[in-house]
Amino acid sequence: MMKPQSLSVLVSLLVFLGELFGFSAGFAPSSRKCNDDIASRRVLLRSYERFSFLAMEASSAIPGPDPDVSFPLLKSYTFDGWNLAYQYKPAAEGFENANPLLLVHPVGIGLSSWFWNKFMETWEGPMLVAIDLIGCGIQHGADPWDPDERGLSVPLGWVKAAEALMQEVMVEAPIKQLPNLLSLLGGSSNRKIPQYSVVVQGGLAPVGVLLASRNPMQVEKLVMTSPPTWQQMTNGVSETELAKNYEFFRSPIRGRLAFSLLESRWAVQFFSNLFLFAEPCDKTWLDEVEKEACKEARPPVQVFNSGFCLARSFEEELASLSQPTLILQGSEDTARIPNRAEYANTMQQCSLQEIRGKNVLPWESSTDVVRAIQNFLL
pLDDT in tens, 272-322: 999 999 999 999 999 999 999 999 999 999 999 999 999 999 999 999 999
Is residue 168 in a domain? yes
**Distance (Å, whole) CA 194 – CA 217:** 9
Q: Residue 8 carries which side chain, given as an amino acid letter?
A: S
Under 8 Å between Cβ of 326 and 221: yes
Mean local confidence (pLDDT), 113-140: 97
Sequence-ordered strand ranges (E) for the chain: 73-79, 82-89, 101-104, 128-131, 175-177, 192-194, 196-201, 219-225, 325-330, 350-355
- Closest among 228, 183, 178, 180 to 208, alpha carbons compared: 228
Mean local confidence (pLDDT), 139-162: 97
Quote the percentage of the chain above a pLDDT of 90.
73
Is residue 66 in a domain? yes
The pLDDT value given to residue 201: 99
**Distance (Å, whole) CA 223 – CA 377:** 10
Is residue 187 in a domain? no
**Distance (Å, whole) CA 203 – CA 104:** 11
pLDDT-based confidence at residue 177 (cuts at 50, 70, 90): low
Residue 1's CB: how many other CB atoms inside 10 A? Answer: 5
The pLDDT value given to residue 6: 45
For the stretch 343-374, pLDDT in tens is 999 999 999 999 999 999 999 999 999 999 99
Under 8 Å between Cβ of 226 and 205: no
The pLDDT value given to residue 168: 82
Is residue 244 in a domain? yes
**Distance (Å, whole) CA 372 – CA 205:** 18
Mean local confidence (pLDDT), 179-183: 50
Is residue 185 in a domain? no
Range of the domain at 240: 10-176+192-377
Is residue 183 in a domain? no
CATH, residue 144 = 3.40.50.1820
Mean local confidence (pLDDT), 323-349: 98
- The answer, yes or no, to whether residue 13 has pLDDT greater than 80, is no
For Cα atoms 116, 118, 123, give the angle at the middle one, nearest 5 degrees.
90
Under 8 Å between Cβ of 314 and 343: no
The pLDDT value given to residue 179: 54
**Distance (Å, whole) CA 276 – CA 21:** 8
What is the Cβ-side half-sphere exposure of residue 201, based on CA atoms within 13 angstroms? 35
pLDDT-based confidence at residue 227 (cuts at 50, 70, 90): very high
Under 8 Å between Cβ of 117 and 282: no
For the stretch 58-79, pLDDT in tens is 333 333 455 555 678 999 999 9
Total structural domains within the chain: 1
Q: Residue 66 carries which side chain, given as an amino acid letter?
A: D
Is residue 311 in a domain? yes
Mean local confidence (pLDDT), 330-347: 97
Is residue 184 in a domain? no
Average pLDDT, the chain: 84
For the stretch 25-61, pLDDT in tens is 433 333 344 545 455 555 445 544 444 443 443 333 3
Phi, psi of 66 (to 5 degrees): -70, 125
